[in-house]
């Protein structure tokens, strides 16, 4: 699994990691049941603090993207059957707010912002 970091992008490293894993899963590049590298290994490979990786993995597990096994190891989970709709909405709202705020800051119209969102959804493919 190839992950790429941009340490000076201003986005926290753990968020970058989470985003990349989520994107890989969403696009099908990471399949259900596939194993992610261990915290230590990934930290060493990327030359970052293991705590950062651990944080990302924790968040991914909390979000249901991955699950960890008692013996150790993190694997891609299969869907989010257990999550309530309200919980999903709660999770997604901050991202929606950010998109809205940024769009407003950049003085894009509502239509332009929505169009952008649709384009990204199209890129992911899969279920509509």
Partner 1 sequence: MNETALLTEGLSKSFGTQAAVSELNLRIQPGAVYGFLGRNGAGKTTTMRMLLGLVRPTKGSARVLELDPTREMELMRILERVAFVPQRKQLYGWATPAELVRMNKAYFPRWSDDAAARLAQRLEIPMKMAFKKLSIGNQSKVALLLALAQGAEVLILDEPTAGLDPVMVDEILRTLIEDHVSQGRTIFVSSHHLGEVEQICDWVGILEEGRLLLESRLEEIRQEFRLVIASGEGLPTAQSTDVVSATTDGRFRRFVVAREAERFAADLRSQGAAILEISPIGLRELFLHLVRKEDACTPGNVGAKPAPVSSFS
The first and second tokens of residue 15, run together, are 């968020």
User: To the nearest whole angstrom, how small is the minimum distance from the Cβ of residue 5 to partner 1?
Assistant: 8
By CB atoms closer than 10 A (0-12, 13-18, 19+), residue 68 is middle
Instruction: Report the alpha-carbon distance of residue 18 to residue 73 in Å, rounded.
Output: 16
Exactly one of 2, 4, 47, 81 binds partner 1 (CB under 8 A); that residue is: 47
- Secondary structure class of 44 (helix, strand, coil): helix
Q: Does 57 bind partner 1 (CB under 8 A)?
A: no
- Tell which one of 32, 51, 98, 109 touches partner 1 (CB under 8 A): 51
Give the interface segment with partner 1, choosing from 23-31, 37-45, 82-90, 120-128 (CB under 8 A).
Answer: 37-45
95 binds partner 1 (CB under 8 A): no
Residue 124: strand, helix, or coil: helix
Which parts of this chain interact with partner 1 (CB under 8 A)? 7-8, 10-14, 40, 43-44, 47-52, 55
């Amino acid at each position: 699994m190839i992950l790429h970091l941009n340490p000076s992008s201003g986005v926290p490293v753990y968020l970058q990691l989470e985003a990349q894993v989520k994107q890989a899963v969403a696009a099908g590049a990471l399949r259900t049941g596939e194993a992610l590298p261990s915290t230590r290994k990934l930290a060493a490979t990327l030359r970052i603090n293991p705590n950062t990786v651990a944080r990302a993995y924790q968040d991914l597990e909390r979000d249901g993207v991955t699950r960890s096994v008692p013996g150790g190891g993190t694997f891609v989970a299969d869907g989010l059957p257990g999550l309530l709709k309200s919980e999903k909405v709660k999770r997604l709202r901050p991202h929606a707010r950010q998109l809205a705020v940024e769009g407003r800051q950049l003085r894009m119209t509502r239509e332009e912002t929505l169009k952008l969102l649709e384009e990204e959804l199209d890129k992911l493919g899969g279920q509509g």
